Structure 1
Amino acid sequence: MPLNQLEVIEGCYVTDSSGCHRYDFWNEQALFDGSPHTGWGSLSRNEPQTEYLDIDLGGVHVPVKIRLQRRAVPVIRTGFPGTLRVIAYPEQGGEKTLLVAGDIEVEAGEWFEGDLEPVETRRIRVETGGIKIRPSGKFFTQIMQMQFLVEG
């Protein structure tokens, strides 16, 4: 479905994450502030690991698409996830995988878009992986913006 027929879910917020909470500009709540200059980052790690964000959509919705924006710094080739898994926790209980994506390649400042299996939910978990090692020998995930979209 074209983006112009979709609407961004407003009021999303992160309830838990594996990320870094030390800076105002690398804070998981910055994922939903609409700014490409702030975002979420994981801790700097010696070994790669799956990072996660637990998200409340601010109400019950049926999201059909997820969008993630890569940092707009072309010289930094690391940090954006190479894999993504999106899990919903439907109101009636249990969990449902909505998307599994691999080999993600996105240019600096651009968006990854993934179609979600439509499930009515308020809570979602986003798991990221596939981070490439930085020249410093560390692994660090960075996402500038995140959006969930519903049919308009």
Structure 2
Amino acid sequence: MESTAVIREKYENVLIHDIQLLENMSGEHRDRCCRNKRRDNPSVNFCNDTQEIRSLQNMACDLLKFFRKQKISIDFRWQTALVSCMTLDILRCKCDRPRAGDVCEWVRLKSREDTQSNKKKCCQELCELKETISSLRSCWNKFEKEIAR
């Protein structure tokens, strides 16, 4: 695993911009159907106070499961996979699920084939994705503050 200083530098110089883009994309999608369901989802990870890197790894791996969800726009899925794979690369981690590595390899090798930014109707998968993105960003912020001390 990289030193925390190297991880922080890569986060601040590269990944933070992609996370901001992902959050902006998240804001473009309707979440009216998500409001009543927030925090009802047990599969959303939270950042562990003593294990931020492990928490970030778990969240990044969870985000990869959305790559093949057809109800979510391809641009949103692609950016989500990119942020996930970059997080795993920076942390020098892998997912336990065998297909997660396939998604990252595919994202590295292929260009985006469909760049239509079509907004699909709201679904529970979108709600879960948006919560996981928010948790990932919060955990990165927490990790960054911890190593800045």
Tell me the TM-score normalized by structure 1: 0.27
**Structure showing the higher helix proportion among its residues:** 2
Tell me the TM-score normalized by structure 2: 0.28
